[in-house]
Amino acid sequence: MTIGPDTVLDAALVAQPRAMRTIERLLDEGRCHAMLLSGAMGSGPTAAALRIAQRTLCPNGGDDDCDVCGRVARHVHPDLMWVAPEGNDLAKQQIDDIVETTIRMPFEGVAQVVVLERADSLSFDNRSAGNTLLKSLEEPEGRVVFVLLATSPARILPTIRSRCVEVVFPAIPDAHLVEALRISGVDEGTVAAATGMDLHGIARAARGDLARAHEIAAGDTAAQRRGDLLVGMHQVAAGSMAPSQLANRIMSRAGAASDAAAALASAEFDEMELVMSDREKKTFNAKTNDDGREKRTSRRARKARVAELHACLAELSGWWRDVLALANGTEVAVTNVDRIDQTRAAAASPAGTRAVAALDAIDDAASRLHFNNADEGVTIGALTAELAALAAGRIRARRTLGAGARTPQGYELSLG
C-alpha cells in the first residue's frame, strides 16, 4: 500500500490536532524562523514539516492542489532543503552546505525552508556541526525557516534548542490512530485477513506511531519484524529457542537492511556517475574521499543496519512491557493484544518479576549501539542471553551503578 503525502498530512491533522493547530498559529503570527518538532517521527513531525514548507513556499498559502505544493511534497522544490544524515549523525559538511545555500537568495519564492531530520544528532558529541548551524540560527535572514526534527530533543545542544520554538508531538492516542487509519483508506476487512487484528489491535501495537500503524496494517517490513521478534522472544522466554538463535535472527535482519541500503545507494551513485566527467568520476571513486562513493555507501549501510537493530530492540521492549503490564494486573496497557495469551503465560512465570530488569537491559543495549562504540554482534548476543536468563529466573536485575554507568559484568546471581 502506498500512502501519498496528502493522506499522511490529513492523517497527522486528525491524529495530532493540538500540535498542528499550534503550528498553524505560529505560521500565522510569523513566528516560525526556527521550529523544533519533537516526538516519534511517525507521530506527525515529518508531516508537519511538510506542511510548514508548503505554507511558506506556496504562493497560495499552502493549498495543496498547486504545483508548488506538489513539488514540496515530493521534496523537489529548489527552495526546500530536506536534509537527513547519511550515517548516524548530521555531518559538519551537510551543515556547511546549508549555511552556504541559505546565504543566497531563494530561487523561486520569497523564502527558503531547511528541514533537518535527526536534529538530536546535533549534540555535545557533534559540536562542530551544531555550532555551524548555530551561526545561521543566530543571524536570522528573515528569509529562512528552519525546521528541526528530533526524537530525543534533550540531546540537542542547549544553545540550539533555546533558539527554537518547540512543538511536541505526543504519542497518538489509540482512538485517533484508528480514525487516522480509516481516513487514509485502510480497509478493515483486508487488514483483518492479513494481520488477524482489527484496527484497534493495530493501533495498540503501533504504540502511538502512525507510520508504524500503517506499516503493520500493510503487513510489510514492520509487521514481519514484529512477528519475527515477538514469536522469537516468546520462544526464548519459554526455553524452546536458544538465545543465540534470536540474536542471529536480529543480526540477519540488520544485515539484510544494510545490504538493501547499499544496493539502493549503488544504483543512485551509478546514475550520478553517468553525468560525471572522467575526472569527477576518479575523485568520486577515490577510496579516501569522504564524499566519495565508497564511504557514503558504507555510511548509509551502517545507518540502515543500526536503524534495524533499534527497531528490533523496540519489539523486544514491547514484549517485555506487555509482560510487565500483565504481571501488574494492568491489562489495558498491553500493546500486542493479539499475543496476549503468550505474554500472560510469561507474566505468571519468573519473567513477570524480571520485566523491569529486562527493559533496563534492552535500553542499555540500545544506548551502547547508539553511541557507536559497541560491537553489534556481541551486544545483541549478550542481550539475548541476559533476557533468556532473566525470563528463566536464573538472574535478578544486574547491579545498577546509576544511569549510564552500568557494567555488563555487574550481575547479581540469584540462588533461588
72 makes contact with Zn ion (CB under 5 A): no
Contact segment (CB under 5 A) with Zn ion among 19-27, 64-72, 160-168, 235-243 equals 64-72
Contact segment (CB under 5 A) with Zn ion among 8-16, 62-70, 323-331, 338-346 equals 62-70
Contact segment (CB under 5 A) with Zn ion among 68-76, 247-255, 256-264, 331-339 equals 68-76
The one-letter amino acid code at 366 reads: A
Contact segment (CB under 5 A) with Zn ion among 59-67, 124-132, 341-349, 391-399 equals 59-67
* Minimum gap (Å) between residue 70 Cβ and Zn ion: 8
Provide the 3-class DSSP secondary structure of residue 273: helix
Contact segment (CB under 5 A) with Zn ion among 56-64, 157-165, 180-188, 377-385 equals 56-64
66 makes contact with Zn ion (CB under 5 A): yes
Residue nearest to Zn ion (CB): 58
Dist CA 212 CA 314 (whole Å): 12
Dist CA 373 CA 55 (whole Å): 41
**Toward Zn ion, which CB reaches closer, 107 or 371?**
107
Cell 566527467 locates to 277
Q: Site size for Zn ion, by CB under 5 A?
A: 6
57 makes contact with Zn ion (CB under 5 A): no
111 makes contact with Zn ion (CB under 5 A): no
Q: Taking the CB of residue 394, how many other CB atoms lie within 10 A of it?
A: 14
| Rg of the Cα atoms in the chain | 23
**Toward Zn ion, which CB reaches closer, 65 or 271?**
65
**Toward Zn ion, which CB reaches closer, 76 or 272?**
76
Dist CA 354 CA 347 (whole Å): 9
Q: Taking the CB of residue 39, how many other CB atoms lie within 10 A of it?
A: 24
Q: Taking the CB of residue 282, how many other CB atoms lie within 10 A of it?
A: 12
The DSSP output letter for 115 is E
Contacting residue, 58, 191, 217, 306, with Zn ion by CB under 5 A: 58
Exposure letters 70-105 (e unless 16+ CB within 10 A, then b): bbbbeeebebbbbbebbbbbbbbebbeebeebbeee
Contacting residue, 23, 53, 69, 358, with Zn ion by CB under 5 A: 69
Residues near Zn ion (CB under 5 A): 58, 60, 63, 66, 68-69
